[in-house]
Amino acid sequence: MKTPSLFGAPRIWSVSELTRHIRQLLESDYRLQEIWVSGEASNVSLPASGHLYFSLQDATATLRCVMWRSQVALQTHLPKDGETFEVFGRIGVYEAGGQYQLYAEVLRPAGEGLRYQEFMERKARLETEGLFDAERKRPLPEWPRTIGVVTSPTGAALRDVLHVLQRRFPLVQVLLAPTAVQGPEAAGGVASALEALNQHGGSDVILVVRGGGSVEDLWTFNEEAVVRAVAASSIPVVTGIGHETDLILADFAADVRAPTPSAAAEVVTPDREALLHSLARLRADLLGLFQDQIGARQEALAVLQARLRQASPRAHIENARQRVDEFWRRAHAAIRHDLIVSRRTLDGLAHTLQAVGPAAVLSRGYAIVTQARDGAIVRSVSQVDPGDPLHVRVQDGSFGARVEDHEGSEDI
């Protein structure tokens, strides 16, 4: 061991300073900021905080790891003790604990990475061959008579398909080509089933269906043999492989992809309810059209009948009678009118007469004077001498009078 130098004071670090230095060193290495590490999981712990603590180890070393709760929620697979995992994250230093550790962002079972790569390579290769081209997709038959089904005879997928077919369009015949749908023999089984249905040739469309499951379970439908068999089928194929987010290569090769077995059954059949509705509508149209036809004919007939009535002699007579009635009505009206005018004139004259008649004059204060002896009206002073008896009539009666003296007109 080196003897500490006696010249000059040695730098004495605090724990914090040293730890910070180590941290900075680690953090400055860019390779450690985004790194994939593979190892066997151990001491896996998921306390109430929701954060995941575990170690990755191999023969000679151990790496402490932590994943925060928010990231934990996004993972599909959490490690169990003894499982080999690949973890992606960054190396950091937990200063308080004097610990370097891997802050994990993504983790997955080891080998999944490899499988994913294999998947992407296969997808690219088959795509280049043109197996997924849109032009290869064929239209589905509108009225299928026989539907071929490739699936497990005991699985839920078949039951689902049959239920949907019975409900929607039970007129079809179902031809089942049974096969395993997971496990090592499944790929060959599915491919053979497809070939068998094509050889038989009686189906109008084929459903390839399987219920939901893990990536492992569904891997059969990523196998090359299956994809090629789907693409090679001369009968249109609809896949209904229950899964949510994973990509399935068989779906790309199919003519139509449905998300579940039930959906696949729906895609290939017309809906019985909808058919019954359009039947009802057609029946109503039929009836309506027929009634229109009758109605139109009835109308044409009515029009002719009306014209016939118009043209008949009876019509003439009616017409003439009406004209006569009209004439009399007008005549009466004219006469009544004349009478009214006459009466009015009469009234007018009577009124005038009243105004200039003797009664009116008398009421104004004039008197009618007559000779008592002969009743002759006295108009002039020359007609009377003093002492002559007179008769005077005023408006409301008469009285006698005697002339006293008179003044001649030549005096006035």
Sign for the pseudo-dihedral over CA of 293, 298, 299, 303? positive
* Min CB(166)–other proteins separation in Å: 5
Please give the C-alpha separations between residue 309 and each of 317, 318, 322, 323, 324, in angstroms, as whole numbers.
12, 11, 16, 19, 21
* Min CB(272)–other proteins separation in Å: 5
> Is the CB of 92 or the CB of 188 nearer to other proteins?
188
Q: Which of 89, 148, 211, 242 binds other proteins (CB under 8 A)?
A: 148
> Is the CB of 36 or the CB of 143 nearer to other proteins?
143
User: Cβ distance 375 to 356 under 8 Å?
Assistant: no
Instruction: Please give the DSSP secondary-structure letter assigned to residue 231.
Output: H
Give the type of residue at 141.
Answer: P
159 scored as a contact of other proteins (CB under 8 A): yes
Residues in contact with other proteins, total (CB under 8 A)?
39
Q: How far apart are CA 311 and CA 388, in angstroms?
A: 95
> Phi, psi (5° rounding) for residue 44?
-70, 130
* Min CB(227)–other proteins separation in Å: 22
Q: What number of CA atoms fall less than 13 Å from residue 364's CA on the CB side?
A: 7
> Is the CB of 44 or the CB of 174 nearer to other proteins?
174
267 scored as a contact of other proteins (CB under 8 A): no
Q: How far apart are CA 40 and CA 321, in angstroms?
A: 120
Chain residues 272-291 in contact with other proteins, contact rule CB under 8 A: 272, 275-276, 279, 282-283, 285-287, 289-290
Burial class (CB in 10 A: 0-12, 13-18, 19+), 24: exposed
171 scored as a contact of other proteins (CB under 8 A): yes
Q: Which of 49, 60, 70, 199 binds other proteins (CB under 8 A)?
A: 199
308 scored as a contact of other proteins (CB under 8 A): no
188 scored as a contact of other proteins (CB under 8 A): no
302 scored as a contact of other proteins (CB under 8 A): no
* Min CB(136)–other proteins separation in Å: 25
Q: Could you tell me the two tokens for 395?
A: 């408006």
178 scored as a contact of other proteins (CB under 8 A): yes
Q: Which stretch binds other proteins (CB under 8 A): 10-18, 28-36, 173-181, 337-345?
A: 173-181
> Is the CB of 98 or the CB of 170 nearer to other proteins?
170
Q: Could you tell me the two tokens for 256?
A: 């139509």
297 scored as a contact of other proteins (CB under 8 A): yes
* Min CB(182)–other proteins separation in Å: 18
Please give the C-alpha separations between residue 57 and each of 64, 106, 132, in angstroms, as whole numbers.
9, 17, 43
304 scored as a contact of other proteins (CB under 8 A): no
Sign for the pseudo-dihedral over CA of 146, 152, 155, 157? negative
389 scored as a contact of other proteins (CB under 8 A): no
106 scored as a contact of other proteins (CB under 8 A): no
Q: Which stretch binds other proteins (CB under 8 A): 123-131, 157-165, 313-321, 402-410?
A: 157-165
* Min CB(280)–other proteins separation in Å: 9
**Residue 300 contacts by C-beta under 8 Å, 6 or more apart in sequence?**
none
122 scored as a contact of other proteins (CB under 8 A): no
Q: How far apart are CA 163 and CA 242, in angstroms?
A: 16
* Min CB(269)–other proteins separation in Å: 11
181 scored as a contact of other proteins (CB under 8 A): no
* Min CB(298)–other proteins separation in Å: 11
Q: Which of 173, 298, 352, 354 binds other proteins (CB under 8 A)?
A: 173
Please write down the long-range contacts of 59-65, taking CB distance under 8 Å and 24 or more positions apart: 63/37, 63/39, 63/101, 63/102, 64/99, 64/100, 64/101, 64/102, 65/89, 65/101, 65/102, 65/103, 65/104
158 scored as a contact of other proteins (CB under 8 A): yes
| CA angle, 63 then 67 then 69, to 5° | 160
Q: Which region, left, alpha or beta, applies to residue 129 given φ > 0 means left and ψ of -120 to 50 means alpha?
A: alpha
293 scored as a contact of other proteins (CB under 8 A): yes
366 scored as a contact of other proteins (CB under 8 A): no
60 scored as a contact of other proteins (CB under 8 A): no
> Interface residues with other proteins (CB under 8 A)?
142-143, 145, 148, 153-154, 158-159, 162, 165-166, 170-178, 196-197, 199-200, 272, 275-276, 279, 282-283, 285-287, 289-290, 292-293, 296-297
